[in-house]
A = this chain, B = another copy of it.
């Protein structure tokens, strides 16, 4: 439950698996709350109760505007906030109002789409907007690691193009559900094995297909240790991604969203290519983006 605070507005980051809310005064966070009521487990009429369960105390006695981004705006979400097509600014001037039973003012940020090659994002556009608000005039490529990693080309305040990779989801599936799970049952990491695998997959992208089963066999026959196998799998996946994303990072100014293990792995993978990427705090970018969306919408009402 939220604390007793009196915010001007409420920022909400509502993804597939988590719901995070922030009681805001301008750009300042007064309080935080979160739950696992992600979009993925809610039906259409479940969003309003899930939100009120978390932030009910913040919207009484007077409802304050709620600005939400993420999968809450998908077709399976609370309300469909239509995709905007790149090239465009990351945020529109209008948001999509969610239907509510109680007197609530909930507005949802639109995602972005790209016609060719076909691609979509929801939630990341807000982080892009926040990153640009924190780094005005920045041109280059933002790498946004996650279950689905996005590479986003930014120029003159607009998203020019972007591309999504499933490497994070593939790592999770392969390491927990495939035959390799038996050889990957710990959290260890071997930095040299990672670097070797990235290099191998970048120079020969077919190495990803060629080497996967060998990780299991190496463990069976040669007793290869789990941290080596784990880092090699990650390196093969990220190396294959970097081979495919070359137009995004070659000769570009690169920022990586995130400060954790996955973001650092991308940074390490790019370094031998002569790319020194900057790491950026994800929550700060999200909040700066939602704040920008709130200021946009406030100007309109």
Which A residues fall within an 8 A CB radius of B? Answer: 83, 113-115, 117-120, 148, 163-167, 169-170, 173-174, 177-180, 204-214, 216-218, 220-222, 224, 237, 240-241, 243-245
| B163 and A169 contacting across the interface, CB-CB below 8 Å | no
Q: Which residues of B contact A243 (CB under 8 A)?
A: 206, 209
Q: Give complex CA distance A211, B83 in Å.
A: 20
Q: Which residues of the other chain, B, contact A177 by a CB distance below 8 angstroms? A: 173, 177
> In the assembled complex, how far is the CB of residue A80 from the closest CB belonging to chain B, in whole angstroms?
12
Q: Would you list the 4 A-B pairs with minimal beta carbon distance, nearest first?
A: A210-B244, A205-B206, A206-B244, A118-B217
Question: How many subunits of this chain does the assembly comprise?
Answer: 2
Dominant secondary structure of chain A at its interface with chain B:
helix
Closest chain-B Cβ to A269's Cβ sits at a distance in Å of: 13
Query: B178–A169 contact, CB under 8 A?
Result: yes
Kindly state the separation between the CA atoms of A90 and B97 in the bound complex, as whole angstroms: 68
Smallest Cβ distance from A238 to chain B, in angstroms?
9
Nearest CB on B from A181, distance (A): 11
Q: In the complex the two chains form, what is the Cα distance from A120 to B207 in whole Å?
A: 18
Contact of A209 among B117, B165, B221, B224 (CB under 8 A): B165
Complex contacts, A83 vs chain B, CB 8 Å: 221
User: What are 15 A-to-B residue pairs whose CB atoms are below 8 Å?
Assistant: A115-B221, A117-B214, A118-B214, A118-B221, A119-B217, A120-B217, A120-B220, A148-B213, A166-B209, A166-B212, A177-B177, A205-B206, A206-B240, A209-B237, A209-B243
- Of the candidates B115, B164, B179, B213, the one whose C-beta lies within 8 Å of that of A165 is B213
Which residues of the other chain, B, contact A113 by a CB distance below 8 angstroms?
Answer: 217, 221
CB < 8 Å neighbour of A119 from B163, B174, B214: B214
Residues of the B chain whose Cβ atoms lie less than 8 Å from the Cβ of A214: 117-119, 164
Q: When chains A and B are docked, how far (Å) is the Cα of A217 from the Cα of B222?
A: 41
Query: In the bound complex, what is the Cα–Cα distance between A218 and B113 (angstroms)?
Result: 10
Q: List chain B residues, Cβ under 8 A from A206.
A: 205, 240, 243-244
Residues A217 and B169 in contact, CB atoms below 8 Å apart: no
Considering only CB atoms, which chain B residue lies closest to A219 in the complex?
Answer: B118
Complex Cα gap A273–B6 (Å): 69
Q: How far is the CB of A167 from chain B (nearest CB, A)?
A: 7
Give the complex CA separation of A71 and B182 in angstroms. Answer: 15
Q: Is B118 touching A209 in the complex (CB atoms < 8 A)?
A: no
CB distance from A275 to the nearest CB of B (A): 18
Q: Write the nearest CB–CB distance from A146 to chain B, whole angstroms.
A: 12
Please, which residue of chain B has its CB at the minimum distance from the CB of A177? B173
A212 to B168, CA, bound (A): 12
Q: Which residue of B lies closest to A218 (CB)?
A: B118
